[in-house]
Amino acid sequence: MKPTEHIFGDSKLKKIKRGDLVRWHTLLKDSDTPAYKTNIGIVTNVSVDDRGGRKVAMAKIIPLGSDSTGMAEIEIFLACLKVISKGVRE
C-alpha cells in the first residue's frame, strides 16, 4: 500500500482482533419510529477490502444470541464495532 493511501476505518485496525467479543447496532425495520437493536458477536477475521474504489476495514463476525441461531458469518464495517472483551491468546 502506498503511504498516501488511506484506509476507511483504520482507527480500529489495531484495536479489534480475531477472537474479540464485540457489539454493534442495527436499525429495526418493523418499527414506526427509529429504533436500534444491540447485537453481540465474535470476530473471526479482520481484513482490508477494496470497496467502491477505496480500501475499507471490515470484520467477519459470528453473531451470538437466540435470534441468530444458525446464522453464518456476517461482514461489518470495523468502525461500527465496539469491543466488549478482548480475545485471549494462549
Q: pLDDT means per 10 residues in the chain (90 residues)?
A: 71 91 90 86 94 92 77 90 84
DSSP per residue, 6-35: -EETGGGTTT--TT-EEEEEEE-SS-SS--
pTM of the model: 0.80
Question: Cα–Cα distance between 62 and 67 in angstroms, integer?
Answer: 12
Please enumerate in sequence order all residues whose Cβ is within 8 A of that of 18, keeping only pairs 6 or more positions apart, or say none. Answer: 43, 44, 45, 46, 87
